[in-house]
A and B are shown apart, each in its own frame.
Chain A
Amino acid sequence: AQRVTQPEKLLSVFKGAPVELKCNYSYSGSPELFWYVQYSRQRLQLLLRHISRESIKGFTADLNKGETSFHLKKPFAQEEDSAMYYCALTYLIQGAQKLVFGQGTRLTINP
């Protein structure tokens, strides 16, 4: 069964400290993995996806197939990074993408 696990519901770090949000997945095929971010009472926004190997707002994530992980990292946290972060994998069902989300991690950056 396809599943995404984010073990930390809450994560609090100080400004300037490194951040790592953990994500593990379970999927039988080759996964397409994403990180979405939701700022307070706003829409979900795509932060990054593993296939593009990009860095957005200083965040990076590397797919580790051996550990079935896709952890999100940032070397120096900023206060504006405080938000809800969702790891997700997607697969196709008759052309429609099914996004399976993790439980989400609420990241709080303390000044």
Chain B
Amino acid sequence: DTAVSQTPKYLVTQMGNDKSIKCEQNLGHDTMYWYKQDSKKFLKIMFSYNNKELIINETVPNRFSPKSPDKAHLNLHINSLELGDSAVYFCASSQSGVSGNTIYFGEGSWLTVV
């Protein structure tokens, strides 16, 4: 049973295309996140949703639009893909309310824009 699962794992697409990455968690958590890991392996938060409400929105281009249909899902849609969007995108989840709660990560989605 995978706790946080995201699809697709690998995605190669052309510049200008629109693509989506889906994420689902079966841990019963109420908070979900998207993180980006760039080519230098640097990890940075992009978004966080708590009970389907957007809580954290870092300085991410508005070509990136997260959507949370319910607490267990947080999808990431990217419009007009650019070369610089090539990265690994990690979905994650946690239970809200306590700062030290463990954040569980998905396996990552490797996006390559050509």
Chain A residues with a Cβ under 8 A of chain B: 32, 41-46, 49, 51, 84, 86, 90-101, 103-104, 106
Residue numbers in B under 8 Å from A96 (CB-CB): 31, 33, 48-50, 55-56, 96
Q: Give the dominant DSSP class at A's interface.
A: strand
CB distance from A56 to the nearest CB of B (A): 12
Q: A43-B90, A43-B107, A86-B43 are in contact. Are A93 and B99 (CB under 8 A)?
A: no
A51 and B100 form a contact (CB under 8 A): yes
Chain B residues with a Cβ under 8 A of chain A: 4, 30-31, 33, 35, 40-45, 48-50, 55-56, 90, 92, 94, 96-108
CB distance from A52 to the nearest CB of B (A): 8
Which among A84, A96, A106 has the greatest number of chain B C-beta atoms within 10 A?
A96
A90 and B100 form a contact (CB under 8 A): yes
Residue numbers in A under 8 Å from B101 (CB-CB): 97
- Taken together as a complex, chains A and B put the C-alpha atoms of A45 and B40 apart, in Å, by 19
A94 and B50 form a contact (CB under 8 A): yes
Contact of B97 among A45, A95, A101, A106 (CB under 8 A): A95
